[in-house]
Amino acid sequence: MQGYKEFLESLQKMTDVRLNIAILLTCLILIISSPADHFILDPVPKLIPQSLILITSIRLVFSIINLIHATLAKRIEKSKLESQEAIEKEKKDQEYKSLKEAINLELNKLDVYQVYIIKNLIGKNNSSHTKGAALFSLCNLKITYVVATGERSQSVSLTKAAKEVLEQNYNNDTSDLEINAANMAFNSMTKKEIGYFKSLLEKETIKTTWLGHDRKTHYLPSHDSFKNYSNSIIFEQPQKGFEYTLNPILREVLSKY
């Protein structure tokens, strides 16, 4: 009996479901096939398979309960994760929407130098510009980001949000932005400076330097003013030396000053 007891204890440690099912079915077959007056495996007591049936039945019921519990727990955990992911996605989508709205507002406040950079980037992966306040502020506003940095220049690209705003709200046309920026620039100029720029309404192109008979370079009074706006949307780009041509869409704007 001591050997049978040790055998039963070892079976209690067996948790494999398939093994327990096999033990249960085997014991049932042995009991059912045994005559009423004796056990088919005599001298093995009939109590052993009966005990095994009880133990394996309990284990199988426990396995089923454990399986149901594990399945429900997994579903609850999955539901929590999906809910958390949905909340995080909604939060990110809202943040992205707010970013696009902020970019759209800022685009209408950009100056002639910043709009020049934006215009130059539309349809391109990146473009290189001289380091300065215009480039720095565009990066701070999350309109552009730096791709590569040199000693005096930086290669920048439009952010995903800025690209979408320009495409969806402006159809990649910066005309309105150019007009807004030009109005801000002209409003900040003195009457004298405005006079220099209005001369471009009469002449298609103005060259602000020339070589005199004395072999010296001479400059028009407008030279410095034009040069300050050379890398902006006020003039047609690209320029040729110190020859300046007014951006055609700004003729009507400038004529009002």
How much is the pLDDT for 116? 96
Q: Whole-angstrom Cα distance, residue 134 to residue 85?
A: 38
**DSSP class of residue 248?**
G
Asked whether 209 and 223 are in contact (CB, 8 A), the reply is yes
Peptide bond into 35 cis (omega under 30): no
What's residue 105's pLDDT?
A: 95
**CA–CA separation, 111 vs 113, rounded Å?**
6
Q: Can you give the pLDDT of all 257 residues of the chain as single tens digits?
A: 455 555 555 545 445 767 777 777 777 777 776 666 655 556 556 666 777 777 777 777 777 777 788 888 889 999 999 999 999 999 999 999 999 999 999 999 999 999 999 999 999 999 999 999 999 999 999 999 999 998 899 999 999 999 999 999 999 999 999 999 999 999 999 999 999 999 999 998 999 998 888 888 998 999 999 999 999 999 998 888 899 999 999 999 999 98
- Look up residue 204 and give its two tokens: 């298609």
Strand 209-211 relative to strand 153-158: parallel, antiparallel, unpaired?
A: unpaired
Q: What is the pLDDT of residue 168?
A: 95
For residues 56 and 20, the answer to whether their CB atoms sit within 8 Å is yes
Please tell me whether residue 149 adopts helix, strand or coil conformation: strand
Rg (CA), the chain: 42
Angle CA(124)–CA(146)–CA(88) in degrees, nearest 5? 95
